[in-house]
Amino acid sequence: MQVIDWIFFALPLLIVLGLGIYANQYVKSVADFLSGGRLAGRYLLAVSRGELQAGAVTFVAAFEVISKSGLTLTWWSWINNPLWVIIGISGFVIYRYRETRAMTLAQFFEIRYSKSFRLFAGILGFLAGVANFGIVPAIGAQFFVYYLGLPTSVSVLSLSVPTFVLLMGLFLSITLTMTLMGGIITLMIADCVEGIISQIFYLVIIFALLSMFSWSQIDHVLANRPPGQSMINPFHSMGLKDFNLSYVLMGMFLNLYGTMAWQSQSAYNSAALTAHESRMAGILASWRGAGKLAVVVLLCLCGMTYLQHPDFAVQAASAHAEIARIHDPQTQEQMQIPIALSHLLPAGVKGALCAILLMGLFGGDSSHLHSWGSIFVQDILVPLRKKPFGPRQHIFILRLSIIGVALFAFLFGSLFRQTEYIYMWWSVTMAIFVGGAGAAIIGGLYWKKGTTAGAWAALLTGSTLSAGGIVVRQIYGDRFPLNGIEVSFCASLIAVFLYAAVSLLTAKEDFNMDRMLHRGKYAAIRPLVGDQTEQPAKRKVTWGKLIGLDDNFTQGDTWIAGSLFAWNMLWFVVFVVGSVWNLIAPWPDSAWSLFWHVAAIGLPVFISVVTAIWFTWGGVRDIRALFSHLRLQKINHLDDGTVVGHQNLDERGVLDSSGKN
């Protein structure tokens, strides 16, 4: 790291911390701390939520996948496109969830099912969440140890302490301070600014890499693979293990089934100004993610090329020596690309990447701390109390819980030995909760015959099977025939079947969906600034209605959503036509190389430039609007997540069960 690297590294962090301190003054209620007063705009949510996927651990996880499968997984993933774009545009799950006005998922469970189910789901979700998060700070710290070329251990009071443990403690301390200052208001603003800065740095990194590596050099490395393990020809990649076609197909089902079930960003799910703003944030996030893809793919491919291409053999010798000195096989595999990047990136660019990943680390870790700490209080302590907390006491308890999560993550990361791919560990630990909760969420929001008994059956079965899979894999390792995602897939299928079967057997009357969603005669229960009444949908069927466009879409919204639909369908058509073509007349590797040069590098780079300008404007606009709304909002201290008689506490007395005043 040169002086210019440290400037690029430190300056954005100081800006972000300064904004976090400034935002603290706007936290005046529990709803502010937990959900930002439900006043966030679409660009603020899209950019800040995107920072959850920009940390060091997320990049390392992506590097693992790309270094194993190359570009072939991208081809198979286009199978998903029609489904994902319709889900995104329609606001599947997230739209109705926002209409419930719940601040956590388990709060919705009490509204829809029962207090005991909320309590159990809160405990289960919390335990799964902290286990899932436990490896994140450690891997992030290890990345920086190897990326910055630090010694792997240092002497502290005559004891040899791993350097990553000290870095992890430092990073968690900074993240904890940001989270405690202003809750989700601080995090949204800080993460949005981080995202805007990162988008500019992405462009710097992209153009630096394109000037250093030619596509012919990258193609040489990708093409030099054993038979059946091609990294550019998906039809010659069936010998690849783990990250293959079956991984994509099972992931498609699990992502649909688990929509919004995982709560590492739970505050963002309830923070939108309206349900429609929340939906638009998801649509915009897809465009921003497409732009970020270019830098992730380029970094990994250039790192692989640097380590494996003969043109770089002399320069890469020291990187190979550093990799060889890592004794733990899992750590050695994870850190190959980070070490290569630390050697190949020039001054300035190295600091820019360091800043991106550290800001992303703070953004991701802070959201985890806020989410799991809030869930412990809101979904375990609050339901157990007969008397609600006072506002100040409530926020104080929330902060204590967040501190507890940080301490657990530090101890877990220091002591736990990871033996899975990062994505596999995440899949299995998420399935401890999502394996059963997905059925309870979708059924609870869309099926009036879903019952509490059905929700219990799904959650208990899905969770037990998934937890059992973790234990068996820890004992038997690769000798167990199912990997992490396969365990999750089987557990989820069984949970869906049991939810439907038990609900049909136990349903006595239909649930009042209109009251839960504040529709029809219950629409008057909208006491917050952000809870504007959505436009009623008309019955006329159009092409837009078929893909989820309703009357809440303005002309500009329609263009944004329509362009996303067209873009995703373009690649689905490419997938279908290309697959049929290759079954009849297979493309040579040279054709695949040309195709990926355009599809994986050229077009994503163009989108990166467009989104950098687009989302900088939108993010700044929404930050200013949030401060304006916060100054004008009316504080309601009853809006604290407490549920009484299947209604939020602040709604009691507004309307009775008949819908009359």
Q: Is residue 105 part of a domain?
A: yes
pLDDT for position 652? 55
pLDDT for position 247? 73
Q: pLDDT at residue 54 above 90?
A: no
pLDDT per residue over 407-455, tens digit each? 999 998 888 766 566 666 777 778 788 888 889 999 999 999 999 999 9
pLDDT for position 459? 92
Residue count (the chain)? 661
Q: pLDDT at residue 74 above 90?
A: no
Rounded Cα distance between 537 and 545, Å, is: 10
User: What's the mean pLDDT in 624-648?
Assistant: 69
Q: pLDDT grade, residue 638 (50/70/90)?
A: low
Q: Is residue 229 part of a domain?
A: no
Q: pLDDT at residue 345 above 60?
A: yes
β-pair type (643-644, 159-162): unpaired
Percent of the chain with pLDDT over 70: 88
pLDDT per residue over 582-616, tens digit each? 999 999 988 999 999 998 888 888 888 888 888 88
User: What's the mean pLDDT in 496-509?
Assistant: 92
Q: Is residue 174 part of a domain?
A: yes
Tell me phi and psi for residue 137, to 5 degrees: -60, -35
Q: pLDDT grade, residue 535 (50/70/90)?
A: very low
Q: pLDDT at residue 41 above 60?
A: yes
Q: Is residue 565 part of a domain?
A: yes
CB crowding 339-353: b at 16 or more within 10 Å, else e = bbbbbbbeeebbbbb
User: What's the mean pLDDT in 56-70?
Assistant: 81
pLDDT for position 660? 39
- Report the Cα 104 to chain-centroid distance in Å: 16
Q: pLDDT at residue 357 above 70?
A: yes
Domain count, the chain: 1
Q: Is 645 helix (H, G, I), strand (E, B) or coil?
A: coil
Q: Is residue 641 part of a domain?
A: no
Q: pLDDT grade, residue 458 (50/70/90)?
A: very high
The residue that leads in pLDDT, 483 or 213, is: 213
Q: pLDDT grade, residue 500 (50/70/90)?
A: very high
Model pTM score = 0.76
Tell me phi and psi for residue 153, to 5 degrees: -150, 155
Tell me phi and psi for residue 161, to 5 degrees: -115, 130
pLDDT per residue over 285-319, tens digit each? 888 877 777 888 889 999 999 999 999 989 889 98
pLDDT per residue over 381-407, tens digit each? 888 877 777 888 888 888 999 999 999
* Lowest mean per-residue pLDDT among 123-127, 272-276, 498-502, 615-619: 272-276
Q: Is residue 628 part of a domain?
A: yes
pLDDT for position 640? 53
pLDDT per residue over 117-173, tens digit each? 989 988 888 888 888 888 888 888 888 888 888 888 888 777 888 888 899 998 899
Mean pLDDT estimate for the chain: 81
Q: Which of 101, 122, 115, 78 is nearest to 401 (CA)?
A: 122
> Which stretch, 109-118, 251-260, 266-275, has highest mean pLDDT?
109-118
| Residue 297, both tokens | 């793919």
First to last CA, the chain: 66
Measured between alpha carbons, how far is residue 169 from residues 159, 269, 339, 407 in Å? 17, 29, 22, 9
Rounded Cα distance between 324 and 315, Å, is: 16
Q: pLDDT grade, residue 333 (50/70/90)?
A: confident
pLDDT per residue over 216-262, tens digit each? 999 988 888 888 788 888 888 777 666 667 777 777 777 788 787 88
What CATH number is associated with residue 444? 1.20.1730.10
pLDDT for position 644? 61
CB crowding 472-506: b at 16 or more within 10 Å, else e = ebeeeeeeeeebbbbbbbbbbbbbbebbbebbeee
Q: pLDDT at residue 484 above 80?
A: no
| Residue 465, both tokens | 């099977």
Q: Is residue 313 part of a domain?
A: yes
| Residue 348, both tokens | 């300035």
Name the residue range of residue 288's domain.
3-224+245-261+272-633
Q: Is residue 652 part of a domain?
A: no
Q: pLDDT grade, residue 581 (50/70/90)?
A: very high
pLDDT per residue over 16-29, tens digit each? 777 777 777 777 77
The residue that leads in pLDDT, 649 or 396, is: 396
User: What's the mean pLDDT in 203-228?
Assistant: 88
Q: pLDDT at residue 529 above 50?
A: no
Which are the contacts of 328, defined by CB distance < 8 A and separation ≥ 6?
A: none
